[in-house]
Amino acid sequence: MKWWWPAIAWAIVISLFSTGTFTSESSGRFIIPALHWMFPHAAMATLSLVQHYIRKTGHLTEYFILSLLLLRGIRGDRKGVRLEWALAAVGIVLCYAALDEFHQSFVPGRTPAISDVMLDTCGGILAQAVVGAIATVNSPRRQRDTGPS
């Protein structure tokens, strides 16, 4: 359980973000004034568009983190990085994202969107790609192959 509790806790945080408290309208009460303060001459349409992208970046970030924490749980105390572990983490991210959007269909002020599931899954894939890239760069075999001649 010690490897899984961070992923479970983060999944709960994601679920809290899916409540009526974090609708686009309610978060706009904070984001739009902050954007207006930073860009006082920007049109309201521009500020709304930036808010939209901030919210979508939030999706990507939430599931990037979840994917890393899931990999931690799957890996446990084993060494290295394996493709099967990465695929399992992405699969869980996809399922959780779909479940989260389904949940939003019952929340007033929230609208489920397949595009959000795709964006969330992209966050999970991106996290695993970063882990894979770091593992490749730091692999002992690569360091032997590129070492001094």
Domain borders along the chain are 5-145
Residue 145 pLDDT level (bands cut at 50, 70, 90): low
Q: Taking phi first (over 0 means left), then psi (-120 to 50 degrees means alpha), and beta for anything else, what does residue 109 get?
A: left
pLDDT in tens, 3-49: 999 999 999 999 888 876 555 666 667 788 888 899 989 898 998 88
Q: Report d(CA 33, CA 38) in Å as an integer.
A: 9
Q: Report d(CA 9, CA 51) in Å as an integer.
A: 26
